[in-house]
Amino acid sequence: MSVPEFVITMEETLEFAERVHAGKSQLPLALRLIQNTGVRKRHVVQPIEQTLSHPGFEERNRIYEVESKKRCPEVIEQALANADLAARDVDLIIYVSCTGFLMPSLTAWLINSMGFRADTRQLPIAQLGCAAGSAAINRAHDFCRAYPDSNVLIVSCELCSLCYQPEDDGIGSLLSDGLFGDAVAAAVVRGSGGTGMVLERNASYLIPDTEDWISYAVRATGFHFQLDRRVPGTMEPLAPVLRELATVHGWDIGNLDFYIIHAGGPRILDDLSKFLDVDYHAFRHSRATLTEYGNIASAVVLDALRRLFEEDITLPGGTGVLAGFGPGITAEMSVGTWAVDVPGNSERIRLNPPSYLEPDFA
């Protein structure tokens, strides 16, 4: 994973909010909510004064294209190296992003620029928001089950700061302004071989009649993020769905060895801990991502997974769950075990180590 070089601390976020949105009736509540997120810092692709300005939707989308092409190749190369693969070994590229729009998808540019085969399949996912990282893993799992010796590259490019709207002053908008950060991440799912999470079962679930709880209003000025105040409470109906997925697989959701969960905010993790009867410490990787980078949308699960790899204490055969939540309200979930490389075993579909490249800020 890679995060941009420009950093905004919590203290700076509060200062900017008080200056830019001074006099707005919702500001005092928004400031308290932002302080309660636990986000210590975030990274953005532009200096803060440029981030706070709005040059127009066309210019912002141009910046998205430039920055995505600049930042994706390095993390892709590292992810392929981690999986001991070359670009020509990849059979499908899944590109996920909800913060800019390109047609053709960036997948076409990657194929033309980085040595991927011309017959590499492309699967862009644009409208699942924060759930897209988990959805990409699930679709990669499905693909490798259909084509057991295949390799799938997942790329997440979320430049959330390019969606900042200075004129939006609703609670949901102000809270998101203090919560979301920018990041680019990549990971490889292999049909055989590799070290990592062995994907064994996946599922998707949409909470009925919640489609307008997380959404974009697309206007002349671009994407306007809309967040319903009921969203933080969605873990109560989703916890039984996660529990059922584990139960069907023969496991107890409250007694697994690792948990990779989307960190949409602290309440999401607190509620899941309570409803699943899971120890607070079990979500340490997701909490660390939230604290250090904020909500980086679809890249959260890849960064939390990276932290699990780096911790290096998961025993072979350890059981775990991976889950992301986003617009819909949609949950994308998978369960699997941890394994060390067993070459040639096509029955074990591995989610290999994601890349992680953090700039030196010294």
- The residues assigned a catalytic role are 130
CA distance 110 to 100: 16
In contact, 100 and 222? CB cutoff 8 Å: no
Q: What long-range pairs does 226-230 form, CB within 8 A, spacing at least 24?
A: 226/170, 226/172, 226/173, 227/172, 227/173, 227/175, 227/176, 228/172, 229/171, 229/172
Strands 182-190 and 349-351: antiparallel
Q: Where are the alpha helices (DSSP H) in 249-355?
A: 266-275, 284-293, 300-311
* Helix (H) / strand (E) containing 144: helix 132-146
The contacts of residue 328 (CB under 8 Å, 6+ apart) are 128, 131, 206, 207, 210, 211, 214
The Cα 268–Cα 317 span in angstroms is 28
